[in-house]
Amino acid sequence: MVRAIELEQARRCGGVCMRVYFLVLADSVEEQGYRSDLTAEKEAFEGLILAKGRMALPSEWEGRTAQQLPPQLRLEEEATAGSNAATLRGGRARASSSRGAPTAVVDLREFRSALPNMLQLHGVTLRPATLEVGDYVLAPDLVVERKALPDLVQSLASGRLYNQAEAMLRTYRRPTLLLEFDENRPFALATRAELAADLSPNSTTSKLCLLLLHFPKLRLLWSRRPLHTIAIFDALKRGAPEPDVDKAAAVGTHAEQAAGQLFNMTPQDLLRSMPGVHAHNYRRLMNAVTNMHELSQLSLGRLAELLGEQNARRLHTFLHQSA
């Protein structure tokens, strides 16, 4: 009845304003029933808004271009470019003709998924190789490890993702972890029903947070679907040099390890385990000294310039205290 009156008021569009008064007994069953109906209606609207925000694309829309999709489903940069699509296509054609098709080195195991084929359909030249580090090498210094949600859970549980992140940080300057979600699942690591009141250390969210805390240089990207992943790859490759397939395949092999890695993680781990040294100041120490012996010879004043007085005092006491 209340909604019928509200609809009638909306149809009048500025006519006679109707006011509705409710007469109920305080603390009665009638009042409780009315409040329960309001709560149920509010939760239904919130659930509808949440479900629409995480709604997956229907299968018949898969593979369509940005102009063929409804405006509300396009990516932001695609939606804003609708009015001058012809101009953009002409500019992209001229740019692609001058620099050639973009190239990406792809691990052979990735061809079990549909993403490599979709990348090739979008004009990306794929160079298949057996990669020891990462799944996609988009630039000489940029590597991407792609994880679907089931693979992410298994990799975090087994510790394999920790080793993969460490290998990427040792060999590339821009390591990236890409989480690609299934179109038929909500765009979230866990639904509202799966979240507990207290986060468990064994949950996927907690393990992912610990991974990012341990590797602060690791970039984390989220993808709703494979088409979104292609748009992300295009943005990452914009203006970047093309990768070399031979160098990408050699990264992580015994020959490359013998030649030396980009970063030596053992001294870094030792340095960060000392008192007064943390993730925000250890690089200043690494740039100031070349080995641990030079670090032990630094004065308290010099350490204070690099770390601050409190951290410098803790590190200086640690280095010079008698065993």
Return contacts of 281-286, CB within 8 angstroms, 24+ apart: 281/306, 281/307, 281/308, 281/311
Residue carrying structure tokens 């990427």: 168
Q: How far is CA 53 from CA 34, 47, 56, 254, 320, in A?
A: 29, 10, 9, 47, 58
Residue carrying structure tokens 């690099």: 306
The token pair at 134 is 């990462």
pLDDT at 63 over 90: no
Tell me which of 45-59, 75-89, 177-191 is least confident: 75-89
> Does residue 77 contact residue 84 with C-beta atoms inside 8 Å?
no
Give pLDDT, residue 4.
Answer: 76
Give pLDDT, residue 86.
Answer: 39
Provide the whole-model pTM: 0.53
Q: How far is CA 175 from CA 99, 180, 273, in A?
A: 25, 16, 23
Under the banding of pLDDT at 50, 70 and 90, the label for residue 145 is very high
Rounded mean pLDDT, 68-88: 47
Strand 125-129 and strand 103-107: pairing? parallel
67 compared with 269, residue with greater pLDDT = 269
Other CB atoms within 10 Å distance of the CB of residue 43: 10
Rounded mean pLDDT, 103-126: 88
Q: Is 144 helix (H, G, I), strand (E, B) or coil?
A: strand
Residue carrying structure tokens 């998924």: 113
Averaged pLDDT score across all residues of the chain: 78
Give pLDDT, residue 219.
Answer: 92
> Does residue 133 contact residue 167 with C-beta atoms inside 8 Å?
yes
CA 82/CA 85 separation, integer angstroms: 5
> Does residue 133 contact residue 143 with C-beta atoms inside 8 Å?
yes
The token pair at 245 is 């397939």
Give pLDDT, residue 183.
Answer: 76
pLDDT at 286 over 70: yes
Tell me which of 9-23, 147-161, 214-228 is least confident: 9-23
Under the banding of pLDDT at 50, 70 and 90, the label for residue 24 is confident
Instruction: Count Cβ atoms within 10 A of the Cβ of residue 173 and give its class: 0-12 exposed, 13-18 middle, 19 or more buried.
Output: middle
CA 60/CA 63 separation, integer angstroms: 8
* pLDDT tens per residue, range 148-201: 888 888 888 888 898 889 889 888 989 999 999 887 777 777 666 666 655 677
Residue carrying structure tokens 């549909």: 114
Give pLDDT, residue 321.
Answer: 83
Q: For the stretch 83-118, what's the b/e string if a residue is b when 16 or more beta carbons lie within 10 angstroms of its beta carbon?
A: eeeeeeeeeeeeeeeeeeebbbbbbeebeeeebbeb
Give pLDDT, residue 106.
Answer: 93
Tell me which of 34-48, 58-72, 142-156 is least confident: 58-72
Position 91: which residue type? G
User: Residue 123: which H helix or E strand, with range?
Assistant: none
Q: What is the DSSP string of 199-216?
A: --TTSHHHHHHHHHHH-T
pLDDT at 291 over 50: yes
Instruction: Count Cβ atoms within 10 A of the Cβ of residue 289 and give its class: 0-12 exposed, 13-18 middle, 19 or more buried.
Output: middle
Strand partners, 60: none
Residues 20, 24, 27, 32: what is their CA dihedral angle, to the nearest 10 degrees?
-60
pLDDT at 94 over 60: no
Residue carrying structure tokens 């939760």: 43
pLDDT at 310 over 70: yes
pLDDT at 95 over 70: no
184 compared with 301, residue with greater pLDDT = 301
Tell me the CA end-to-end span of the chain in Å, nearest whole number. 83
